[in-house]
């Protein structure tokens, strides 16, 4: 019986089920960003439909979010995030219409949501005396989960976004534009 199990294990490993090196899963590196020498790429996030990849590119001491179409790798503009570095923890909605990200503004880290279809920027109201560490946007963008540090304790809170933005549902409009340059902040800070 032991020989049978060893044989089954060898077949499974040969099929590629024992690891991610080939097998059933296709692998390829993310497309280059086109920003000169490559730095470290961190915090990958795919839109629900798989069309967009957001990641943080660390290069020469700066960390900024890069958004790319997949699989071609064309870099898309994120004009509201320029000059607000470093960036961390990007998260995308289903069609990539919304991207949530943490940015540094002076001494504070804040959570921002960019509507790539309209160009609207929403600053998300965070609990007082809390520093955001990570975030995760629901695929339809109706909610945002935040990992926070408050008085030395780790917490997770969920923000309801339904009254602030419209949902990004499967089959909805792809976010191909960048909208206008106007900013419409929402909430406090």
pLDDT, tens digit (0-9, with 9 covering 90-100), for 55-67? 999 988 889 999 9
- Return the structure tokens found at 49: 């439909």
Domain 39-183 of CATH type 2.120.10.30: yes
pLDDT digits (tens, 9 = 90+) for 79-136: 787 777 788 999 999 999 999 999 988 888 999 999 999 989 999 988 888 999 999 9
Closest CA to 32 of 63, 71, 64, 60: 71
> How far is it, in rounded angstroms, from Cα 67 to Cα 60?
19
Residues 158, 162: Cα–Cα separation, whole Å: 12
d(CA 99, CA 79): 12
Model pLDDT, residue 142: 96
Q: Identify which has the larger pLDDT, 167 or 2.
A: 167
Query: In this predicted model, what pLDDT tens digit does every residue of 121-177 receive, in sequence order?
Result: 999 988 888 999 999 999 999 999 999 999 999 999 999 998 889 999 887 665 554
Coil/strand/helix, residue 6: helix
How many CA atoms, within 13 angstroms, populate the side-chain half-sphere of residue 80?
A: 27
Query: What CA–CA distance (Å, rounded) separates 147 from 132?
Result: 6
78 or 156, which is more confident?
156
């Amino acid at each position: 019986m032991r020989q049978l199990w060893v044989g089954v294990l060898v077949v499974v490993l040969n099929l590629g089920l024992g690891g991610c090196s080939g097998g059933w899963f296709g692998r390829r590196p993310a497309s280059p960003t086109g920003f000169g020498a490559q730095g470290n790429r961190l915090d990958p996030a795919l839109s629900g439909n798989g069309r967009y990849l957001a990641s943080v590119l660390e290069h020469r001491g700066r960390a900024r979010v890069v958004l790319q179409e997949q699989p071609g790798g064309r870099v898309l503009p994120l004009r509201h995030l320029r000059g607000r570095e470093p960036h961390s923890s990007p998260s995308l909605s289903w069609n990539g219409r919304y991207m949530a990200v943490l940015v540094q503004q002076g001494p504070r880290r804040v959570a921002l949501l960019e509507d790539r279809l309209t160009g609207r920027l929403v600053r998300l109201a965070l609990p007082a005396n809390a520093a955001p560490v990570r975030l995760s946007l629901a695929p339809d963008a109706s909610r945002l989960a935040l990992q926070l540090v408050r008085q030395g304790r780790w917490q997770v809170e969920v923000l309801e976004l339904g009254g602030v933005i419209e949902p990004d549902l499967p089959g909805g409009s792809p976010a191909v534009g960048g909208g206008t340059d106007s900013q419409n902040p929402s909430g406090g800070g």
